[in-house]
Amino acid sequence: MIGRLNHVAVAVESVEKASAVYRDALGAKVSAAESLPEHGVTVVFVELPNTKIELLEPYGENSPIAGFVAKNAAGGIHHVCYEVDDIISARDQLKATGARVLGDGEPRIGAHGKPVLFLHPKDFCGTLIELEQA
């Protein structure tokens, strides 16, 4: 069902500071920051030859990652994103196995402009999984 690894998301206190680390210390190509108030985050993408790193900074008081950053002040891996061919089919297949889809279970448009869903980490070895329609 899952396809290629789309990105690994790292929650950080500041995408500006984290971008500098990836750009200056690691020599990576880093996108401009984009605020996504509907998702409660500001994002930056670090482009790699085989995938991306998504840097996430909390945006607004109700950011879903604010608690994670508060507990992990130095930052840390927040989730991994896999591509799927058909997000509705993937959702239905996962729900049939007992997996929990977060939120209302309906896909939302993610940072790449494509439908996404998140899966409960307790159902996936302690890892928050994002599915993105390819």
The set of catalytic residues is: 130
In this structure, what DSSP letter does residue 77 have? E
Q: Is 99 exposed, middle or buried (0-12, 13-18, 19+ CB in 10 A)?
A: middle
C-alpha pair distances (Å), 61 with each of 7, 66, 101: 25, 8, 24
Strands 5-11 and 29-30: unpaired
